[in-house]
Structure 1
Amino acid sequence: MTHWFHRNPLKATAPVSFNFYGVATTPAATKVCNDLRLSRTRLLELFTDSSCNPEMMKNATDLYFSLLQGFILSLDDSSQECKLRYIQNFKWTDTLQGQVPNITEDEAKDVHRSLKIAAGIFKHLKESHIPKLITPVEKGRDLEARLIDSYIIQCQAEAQEVTIARAIELKHNPGLIAALAYETANFYQKADQALSSLDPTYAGKWRKYLNLKSCFYMAYAHCYHGQTLLASDKCGEAIRSLQESEKFFAKAEALCKEYGETKGPGTTAKPSGHLFFRKLGSLVKNTLEKCQRENGFIYFQKVPAEAPQLELKANYGLVEPVPFEFPALNAHWTPETLAAFDLTKRPKDDTAKPKPDEEVKPLKEPDIKPQKDSGCQIS
């Protein structure tokens, strides 16, 4: 899987101690601050822990945000902001401008579910929280609508890739596979369009990845659509559909090379070396040769000059973001705890130059070496 998906760099963040000495005036208030510091540290550790699983990540995330929301939400359900809303600033890098083969069925389900959840998180942030930020979002930065939209769509597209791989392994109807591939290709195209007006210095590499995946799944769509046409005795149209598949596959191969040579943030995937990619090339070649043989012996149909239109709509397997909500407010937050924070005792100078331990250090992902790449076996 590390060879197959392009990933932008993980966002890095400056340490936050939540040490509000003098402001937190009771043991209960101090405990909330200590729990926040520990839960945040643990969550950040999990981002680079190769042994982390989705349940561990969810539990750590829920604990941290249940505590953090006491700095955001009003405890009396009023529309007024919590008095602690501005007590702590957070520093993050910007993703673009700052800084497993033999997958089992259970692992495939985890990947599929996690991508849908990720899409839901991006969607929730875009609709419910980004509009409320104190500082307006800068153009071309992480929280801007164009980038968030692209993240949402890419998550949906990659989740559908898992669906397609399973459908192929289980030899589902070629018409269903063609429709899913066509929908996935369109997702990647939309994700690319969302980034089209961004500076190519930062988004160029990401866009090459989205382009190559769009072409790859267009090749899949035409290939399996050709099989459907052949099964309906439309051999001439099937040949033309396979020829179109050949064209898109060749374009995807060329884009893989361009993507690998393009400078930009993010890890570099190697789709052209992946068995799932190479299998398609062989499938297109063999299916086209079969169609041409059948046409020479049985059908004698004229091959159309224009490729058949792919007016395909998948009725199954389409991915929608999983609705996301932050966890409930932690039980440690009570009116008494909130009242114990005395903001009049905050240090006067909050604009001082950051200390060395407050600097944002790059977040390095673990270097996981894939084993022998035998494709995406999920059945």
Structure 2
Amino acid sequence: MAHWFHRNPLKATAPVSFNYYGVAGSPAANKICNDLRTNRARLLEMFTDVTCNPEIMKNATDAYFSLLQGVFSKVDDDEGFISSLDGTTQENKMRFIQNFKWTDTLQGNTPSAQQDAIFELVSMAFNVALWYTKFASRQAGKENVTEAEAKDVHRSLKVAAGTFKTLKDVHVPRLITPAEKGRDLEPRVIDAYIIQCQAEAQEVTIARAIELKHNATLIAALAFETANFYQKADHTLNTLEPECSGKWRKYFQLKQLFYMAYAYCYHGQTLLASDKCGEAIRSLQEAQRCYSHAEALCKEYRQTKGPGTTAKPSEQLFFLKLGGLIKNTLEKCQRENGFIYFHKVPVEPPQLELKASYGLAEPIPFELPPLSQQCTSEVYATFDLTKGAKNDKAKPKEEEVKPVKEPDLKPQKDTGCVLS
């Protein structure tokens, strides 16, 4: 089954030179600075390289983060540490030397800036998670998706969910300056990304279950759980400004209705198999209602301005196939009822109290790589903050944050491929 996923733009960032002239007092210290600059630039290039795959991305991420940790983590001993603001913990003396600027996915090209290496870590890792979602979207839009590629889509979405979750639970709380409302690092926005990734991973699971002809009860339960995920994501954003979250919320709303239609459709099949034809008809009628509402929201999604991709979801094959399935199943139930059962059709739709025992997508936790072997206490002793650094903050002209030119902002054509 082909898939379509809404994607917000990547975060953009200002160049960082890591030119700590005067502060970096040894060749080894200068090499760390040079490698930080080089590895950062390479990782940023990978975000827009269509040939990049998860293995390449992990190698590029590990190369940068293994060095960046040396700027905010403990190295070997107490050499080179300063007391934190409350005096209760020790911080790496290099953590607050460099200014970093990043835009946010929902706030256009207006950057946030913090002189904090943790801010750089969470912002860059956030972009890594976004890349995994975009990689999954590209893979799911290819012709003739193989089983291995389908697994890549599923795993990439779980990796993204786990990265967002680890950032929220572990690293964002370490920031000295809390995230402003509506920015990527505030809980509502991160939660929405986590839930979206889990819901989309379950879409792949549902496609797999349908393709392998698993029983209708399991498919209905998975669809119902997925619809609930999308509803939860929508509610998470309901207090954000509509200008920045409106389009994203329309996506959640139409996907919630789409998967409720799926749940009622397959629940109707279960009821028919249990000789409850009247209830099956009512379930299919409710599926039809949800589907029609989702179709209307597809039009609203196209017309809503805001960050993210532009698409016509109601014209794509994944959407049209469900409409045909609901229509054919309902007609079958009505025929059977007219010839065999003669059941009364209930006024109210059946209550869906479905819980999936299998197939639920769990986030894969994000782990930082080991600290680079270059980062030793002996090398860090040669960084002398009293000398002052010729860094980006000292430049009279601030570096401009240019939007990221993404290769995959336009939706891929739905080819009708099957994830199997």
Shorter-chain TM-score range: over 0.9
**Residue among 145, 153, 161 paired with 2:187:** 145
Letter in 2 for 1:83: K
**Residue among 113, 119, 142 paired with 1:101:** 142
Give 2:371's aligned residue.
329
Letter in 1 for 2:275: D
**Residue among 220, 223, 233 paired with 1:178:** 220
Please say if 1:311 is aligned against 2:321: no
- Secondary structure of the residue aligned to 1:81 is strand
Distance 1:368 1:12, change over 3 A: closer
**Residue among 199, 203, 207 paired with 1:161:** 203
Give 1:57's aligned residue.
57
Per the TM alignment, residue 367 of structure 1 is displaced from its structure 2 partner at its CA by 4.6
Between 1:304-313 and 1:95-104, the stretch displaced more is 95-104
* Counterpart-to-counterpart distance in 1, 2:368 and 2:177: 21
Between 1:36-45 and 1:365-374, the stretch displaced more is 365-374
Per the TM alignment, residue 376 of structure 1 is displaced from its structure 2 partner at its CA by 3.9
Q: If the length of structure 2 is used for normalisation, what is the TM-score?
A: 0.86
CA contact (8 A) 2:98 2:392 kept: no
Letter in 2 for 1:52: C
Identity of matched residues, %: 74
Distance 1:179 1:32, change over 3 A: same
Q: If the length of structure 1 is used for normalisation, what is the TM-score?
A: 0.96
Please say if 1:375 is aligned against 2:416: yes
Per the TM alignment, residue 368 of structure 1 is displaced from its structure 2 partner at its CA by 7.7
CA contact (8 A) 1:179 1:313 kept: yes
* Counterpart-to-counterpart distance in 2, 1:71 and 1:105: 41
Please say if 1:233 is aligned against 2:243: no
* Counterpart-to-counterpart distance in 2, 1:95 and 1:126: 16
Please say if 1:359 is aligned against 2:400: yes
Per the TM alignment, residue 60 of structure 1 is displaced from its structure 2 partner at its CA by 0.5
* Counterpart-to-counterpart distance in 2, 1:376 and 1:349: 50
Give 2:312's aligned residue.
270
Letter in 2 for 1:76: D
Per the TM alignment, residue 74 of structure 1 is displaced from its structure 2 partner at its CA by 1.1
Please say if 1:9 is aligned against 2:19: no
CA contact (8 A) 2:77 2:377 kept: no
Please say if 1:86 is aligned against 2:96: yes
Between 1:178-187 and 1:95-104, the stretch displaced more is 95-104
CA contact (8 A) 2:191 2:236 kept: yes
**Residue among 307, 332, 355 paired with 1:290:** 332
Letter in 2 for 1:87: I
Deviations 1:9-35 (A, max 9, x none): 110000011111111111111111111
Per the TM alignment, residue 364 of structure 1 is displaced from its structure 2 partner at its CA by 1.2
Deviations 1:59-104 (A, max 9, x none): 1001110110000101137751101010111100121112323322
- Secondary structure of the residue aligned to 1:263 is coil
* Counterpart-to-counterpart distance in 2, 1:59 and 1:282: 44
- Secondary structure of the residue aligned to 1:139 is coil
* Counterpart-to-counterpart distance in 1, 2:55 and 2:317: 30
Letter in 2 for 1:170: L
* Counterpart-to-counterpart distance in 1, 2:97 and 2:282: 64
> Structure 2: any 5+ residue segments left out of the alignment?
79-88, 110-140
Give 1:135's aligned residue.
177
Give 1:44's aligned residue.
44
Per the TM alignment, residue 273 of structure 1 is displaced from its structure 2 partner at its CA by 2.0
CA contact (8 A) 1:4 1:270 kept: no
CA contact (8 A) 1:137 1:144 kept: yes
- Secondary structure of the residue aligned to 1:17 is coil
Distance 1:164 1:3, change over 3 A: closer
CA contact (8 A) 2:18 2:391 kept: no
> Structure 1: any 5+ residue segments left out of the alignment?
none
CA contact (8 A) 1:215 1:251 kept: yes
**Residue among 113, 136, 149 paired with 2:155:** 113
CA RMSD of aligned residues (A): 1.9
* Counterpart-to-counterpart distance in 2, 1:242 and 1:28: 69
CA contact (8 A) 2:206 2:219 kept: yes
Give 1:202's aligned residue.
244
Per the TM alignment, residue 375 of structure 1 is displaced from its structure 2 partner at its CA by 2.3
Per the TM alignment, residue 320 of structure 1 is displaced from its structure 2 partner at its CA by 1.0
* Counterpart-to-counterpart distance in 1, 2:170 and 2:107: 25
Distance 1:77 1:209, change over 3 A: farther
- Secondary structure of the residue aligned to 2:247 is helix
